[in-house]
Amino acid sequence: MRVGALVLLAIVACSLLVVVMAADRPSILSPTTHTSFFPAWMAGPFGGLWPGLTRNSNTLKYLFSVAIVVMYAAYLVGLAYLPRMRARWG
């Protein structure tokens, strides 16, 4: 049961990390209408939560890749432990 909770927590945490990275500024994760234009309404409530996180585009790419890999690995572990998890969590 603890494994199931950790798996779900990892997926939610990595998803939130990706959302915060995309809402911070124009990048490969969010479309823009033209160069250097990022309207505030596009960022939504998560815009500016972690302003220093994505200033380097290479760091952004690595963080995004790691988050996706961690979510995929957590999903696979969750599938393996699915018979032992509660139905609501599954």
- Token pair of 87 as six digits: 């139905």
Is 58 within the bounds of a domain? yes
pLDDT digits over 17-76, tens only? 888 888 877 777 777 656 566 677 776 777 777 777 767 778 888 999 999 999 999 999
| Residues 68, 63: Cα–Cα separation, whole Å | 9
CA distance 63 to 26: 16
Q: How many whole angstroms separate alpha carbon 16 and alpha carbon 20? A: 6
**Which tokens is 40 given?**
């505030």
Q: Is residue 16 part of a domain?
A: yes
Tokens of 15: 């998803």
User: Residue 68 sits in which domain range?
Assistant: 2-84
Domain assignment present for residue 33? The answer is yes
Residue 90: inside a domain? no
Q: Residue 73: its pLDDT value, please? A: 97
CA distance 1 to 4: 5
Predicted TM-score (pTM) of the model is 0.76
Position 5 confidence tier, pLDDT thresholds 50, 70, 90 = confident
